[in-house]
Structure 1
Amino acid sequence: MRWWPSACRRVGGGFLRCNGLVDADIEDLAPPAVLAQVVPRRSTLLLRAPRALVVVTAAVFAFLGDASAVGEKPGDPQRAPVTLPLRAQGSMPSLDGAVQWLNSPPLTAAALRGKVVLVQFWTYSCINWQRTLPHVRAWAEKYKDHGLVVIGVHTPEFSFEKDLDRIRRALAHFKVDYPVAVDSHRAVWSAFGNNFWPALYFVDAQGTIRHHHFGEGDFERSERVLQQLLKAAGAKDVPADTVRVTGTGSQAQADWANLRTPETYVGHDRAENFASPSGMTVGRTVRYAAPERLRPKAWALAGDWTVGREVALLEGKQGRIVHRFRARDLHLVMGPATQGRPVAFRVRLDGKPPGSAHGADIDAQGRGVLAEHRLHQLVRQPQPVGDRLFEIEFEDEGVEVYAFTFG
């Protein structure tokens, strides 16, 4: 789960407080099914998950029925549907701030009355959103004839995600055919008071928000909420089962048991654990060097780079980035600085080609080509998963790097 940084501040001990919504230990990631639990506002709940301590505070619309089940068995036919306590959380805010609509003419909250609406905030380079997509896409298809309208609100995290052509290509790549509100100015995001990617808001046929979920996971409960709202709206023959989907590539569920490295931002504003000996300089080109040894979770630049607020730009040939991590999957959000000018790169793990641990965007020798701005899957380790030293070397200048994510 990603949060919008202006909403958050550090409160010590590696924790972030995000406008009274969620405090998450960013040093050890917990399953978002745990992060999604909420309690009354301004109170704090300490949850002990396997190998992770999570601090959770309330959402403004907190209610008892938001607690998530950890270790659920989606679609278990032996589990009879139960009536969930869905309290009113305010009226659905306006969608008028969208700069454009894709896959649909503009939709309004008023025109959607009588429909059950599922609103998901997303941004296309976000790994957490990508891992929810198989379920959201399946719900849109399964319940479209029962009165469900799914709306994706694309609110960019990085500047490149504001580009309309890139958003269109992402819709085609991810096979998103439900309505999408392009929220490049964060107007819809602000109207909802949202702070997270991904975030789900469940709206009943009277236009009232009845449930929300931040982050990944809790898919069975979310689908049960949809079924309950559809039945309450008078829909007939609403299926009682829940979908069974298995994501592939970047959409595969994370290996939470082995995920020990937090999301790592390369831009100055959110950079942590930076280990190049000279430290990080903002706004001018610096020749960086990687240290001989990296501690776990640390990363470093090597070569001539200009670090900006959200991105690092490679200014010279043969620049490198190294990162010591522990996770099954490693992804890197990056793209060429000049459109139409791809840059070749090579990945090594512990100084060697990745072999069977290569991700979808490179071959077994670690070779890949950077041709567009997006999330690139570079490592998918077979079991057993251990600590690894990741290295990516670019053969030419003109590379923009934004963030590492893991799974």
Structure 2
Amino acid sequence: MSPFPWPEGAAFIMVSTPLSRLRRCLALALFAGAAIVHIAPSAAAGPSGLPSLGALPALTGATTWLNSAPLTPAQLRGKVVLVDFWTYSCINCIRTLPHVRAWAEKYRSQGLVVIGVHTPEFGFEKDAANINKAIERFKIDYPIAVDSNHQIWNAFHNNAWPAFYLADTIGQIRARLSGEGNYEKTEKAIQALLAEAGRLQPMGALATPQGSAEQAAPDIANLRSGEAYVGYAQASNDVTRSGLKRDVAHDYTTTAPGLNQWGLSGNWTVGAEHANLNQPGGTIVYRFNARDLHLVLRPRADGKPVRFQVRINGSTPGKNHGADTDAQGNGSVTDTRLYQLVRQAGGVRESTFEIRFLDARVGAFAFTFG
């Protein structure tokens, strides 16, 4: 019997959802520990108890590689391979990064190769300059295949961010995991395949990295708000009085939002992926219940910063400010990325968030929570 916690001859697969708007539901299920489904193996399990789920697809079709030259199946033969599908503004992906970095460093000398496949959700995530800034911000040193055309994503038949594929030394996928959480099981699967290959040396306790700012684990017990898109293609629960007008400048006003409702005020042009502010002074309000509130934002097209002010229940955030705001609620949009605007330091309670932009031409994409 395998010493690792899976039934003999069975693999584990995390329940995933095919739409990015359901990432938060996936994360909740995984952290609750209730999303493990056993599947019948396609081949006899090896000594680790993990069966073969098919050959690891070749990582062809990347528009470029970062931190490495392109890696081929021949170069990966003899290595245990962890492929991580991610995109840099996805909060669920961001929160896995401390663990992925820790595994890459801890097991590199024993034959583990970690490969990040950066497959975009938003158009701006195809920009190599944006991806490079994210790699630097998140201190990623393992190879990244830039999959801007979704060719690798499609070859894997992948359907979620983040998603992990673990392959053995002969190029067979032995486990697939989607979403956040269950880091102990993932690392034990890595250890199982290294041990199966005769590579594992004593490593002590499992990795327990602690993320800071937006990389910190979510407060699941108090999380009652989910991902919300501002662009009309996936927008829902907006209480803007006129409704969202597609691709035209419009003066918006909003009613007071209920829980998990939001609205625009000011002159905005709402596109499929994001809303763009045309005049200074525009606001977005959101009624939420979570420790953390994040918003994906883009600065002006000329790269000049856009200043903003955050209020919580009409007051400055004080100790409840996020990593990208100060106690007075001040901040600025300097890069196209996810911004942490609120972290409730005391007890989490239902609150109304407001962000007012002091400069025009900012783009707002999506809210996420933690």
Does 1:167 pair with 2:131? yes
Change (3 A) 1:27 1:122: closer
SS in structure 1 at match of 2:198: coil
1:184 maps to 148
1:78 maps to none
Does 1:306 pair with 2:269? yes
SS in structure 1 at match of 2:131: helix
CA distance in 1, matches of 2:114, 2:333: 33
1:245 maps to 209
1:308-347 map, 5 Å: 308-347=271-310
CA deviation profile, 1:313-364 (whole Å, cap 9, x unmatched): 1111210000000000000000113132111100000001000000010110
1:122 maps to 86
Does 1:374 pair with 2:368? no
Displacement after TM superposition at 1:245 (Å) = 1.2
Amino acid of the residue matched to residue 32 of structure 1?
Answer: L
CA deviation profile, 1:98-122 (whole Å, cap 9, x unmatched): 1111111110123211100000001
CA deviation profile, 1:168-200 (whole Å, cap 9, x unmatched): 111111100000000010000110011111111
Displacement after TM superposition at 1:239 (Å) = 2.2
Amino acid of the residue matched to residue 382 of structure 1?
Answer: A
1:364 to 327, 333, 337: 327
Asked if 2 retains the 8 angstrom alpha-carbon contact of 1:17 and 1:23, the reply is no
Amino acid of the residue matched to residue 238 of structure 2?
Answer: F
Amino acid of the residue matched to residue 266 of structure 1?
Answer: V
Asked if 1 retains the 8 angstrom alpha-carbon contact of 2:21 and 2:227, the reply is no
2:349 to 386, 395, 400: 386
1:2-151 map, 5 Å: 18=17, 30-34=28-32, 37-39=35-37, 62-63=39-40, 85-151=49-115
Asked if 2 retains the 8 angstrom alpha-carbon contact of 1:333 and 1:404, the reply is yes
SS in structure 2 at match of 1:330: strand
Mean alpha-carbon deviation: is it higher for 231-240 or for 245-254?
231-240
CA distance in 1, matches of 2:155, 2:318: 47
SS in structure 1 at match of 2:276: strand
Amino acid of the residue matched to residue 30 of structure 1?
Answer: L
Change (3 A) 1:227 1:329: same
Asked if 1 retains the 8 angstrom alpha-carbon contact of 2:246 and 2:269, the reply is yes
CA distance in 1, matches of 2:103, 2:285: 40
Asked if 1 retains the 8 angstrom alpha-carbon contact of 2:228 and 2:235, the reply is yes
Asked if 1 retains the 8 angstrom alpha-carbon contact of 2:84 and 2:116, the reply is yes
SS in structure 1 at match of 2:74: coil
Displacement after TM superposition at 1:22 (Å) = 11
CA distance in 1, matches of 2:148, 2:222: 35
SS in structure 2 at match of 1:143: helix
Cα RMSD (Å):
2.2
1:351 maps to 314
CA distance in 1, matches of 2:134, 2:20: 29
Displacement after TM superposition at 1:28 (Å) = 10
CA distance in 2, matches of 1:225, 1:327: 32
CA distance in 2, matches of 1:24, 1:34: 16
Displacement after TM superposition at 1:241 (Å) = 2.6
